Amino acid sequence: MSALSRCGMREIPVRRDERGALCFVESERHVPFQIQRIFWLFDLAPGVARGGHAHRAHHQFLVAIGGGFRVVARAGGETAAYFLTPGAGGLYVPPGIWLDLDQFDSRAVCCVFTSHNYDEADYIRDWDEFAANSETRA
């Protein structure tokens, strides 16, 4: 199984009634890890890109809670692109996947659930280092 094949969209429950819609995410039910940290990106400048890194051990689950945006995932010489919008599910990303986020619309809000608290040592921010290691693990 390729590293990138472990990355993919997962359903998020949606409950609707006359008042509107409600979505929710639960640890180990909708995401395959215990959630330790949640953060979100918003008020993103036009044309901005985010991400540009991979994680050594952290699992992530990305959800659009406003607007829409594209996520490009890379590993082992493979690339997959996903466009996230509210209510469309969430993107599960295991460790060892390089992510680039872009094409944010003016209302975009990206919420990220992670398996660990922030740790700078977990980040791989150099593409050449990542690509060299990713190719050997593919």
Contact yes or no for 2/78 (Cβ under 8 A): yes
**Which DSSP string do the residues of 59-76 spell out, in sequence order?**
-EEEEEEES-EEEEEEET
- Active-site annotation holder among 53, 55, 59, 116: 53
Residue 30 catalytic? no
Checking 79-84 for CB contacts under 8 A at 24+ apart, the result is 79/4, 80/4, 80/7, 82/9, 84/110
- Which residues form the catalytic set? 53
